[in-house]
Amino acid sequence: MEENKGIRLNKYISDAGHCSRREADRWIEEGRVYIDGRKGSLGDRVLPGMKVTIQGERVKAQSKNVYIVLNKPVGIVCTTDKREPMNVVDFVDHDRRIYPIGRLDKDSEGLLLMTSDGDIVNRILRAAGKHEKEYQVTVDKPITTEFLQKMASGVKILGTTTLPCQIKKTGEKAFTIILTQGLNRQIRRMCETLGYRVKTLKRVRIMNIHLGNLKLGQWRNLTPFEMKELMRRLDNREEE
């Protein structure tokens, strides 16, 4: 895009770390966004020197996006809503405006990606049915061969049958599972359908991003190598 044509308003807001482009579109439609004192509209472009505000708050473009991995503890909620006292944004307390990519339910822990880049949020969520997410799970009773087979082939939950997945027993009451789906509380619902109750659930990988030795409650920036490989995989998915 040529600089003299400016940046689309929704991208400008997204790049500043306020929200995703989709949410920016909603804010614009609701009349909450202004450019130089006039109400913004979908398709508007922001030129150098223009002032963009959301409900009176100045939106400042950021020069570099933030991409982090958080080892989310149980009890932290994946929301940007400040009315939730245990929201993940306040928990991380980053000096940039960031938000989670996808969700990890309140009762679960482990790897959560967060960013100020609305573009990559949309790209990852669009590929939600194609990329791998790996979890370590413990349940309330011994795991049987029948349980493993049924989990791997698909379980009826939420009016549908889950996609085939990879699962491996790692202990009498423990297993790892790799999903390419993201249904609400999917693993817990699958286990409940088969008569098991999840005791602990930890996400340890999303695509090429691994939790590794990151301590519970701590976060780190993605490495350049992780970012390069992540973008390569997203590009390949979008070409399929």
Show which residues are catalytic: 105
3-state secondary structure of 209: strand
Side-chain half-sphere CA neighbours of 190 within 13 A = 28
* Burial status of residue 111 (CB atoms within 10 A of its CB: 0-12, 13-18, 19 or more): buried
3-state secondary structure of 234: helix
3-state secondary structure of 150: helix
CB–CB of 130/237 below 8 Å? Answer: yes
Q: What CA–CA distance (Å, rounded) separates 205 from 127?
A: 16
The DSSP H or E segment spanning 38 is: strand 38-39
- Nearest-10 Cα torsion for 234, 16, 133, 194: -130
- Alpha-carbon Rg for the chain in angstroms: 20
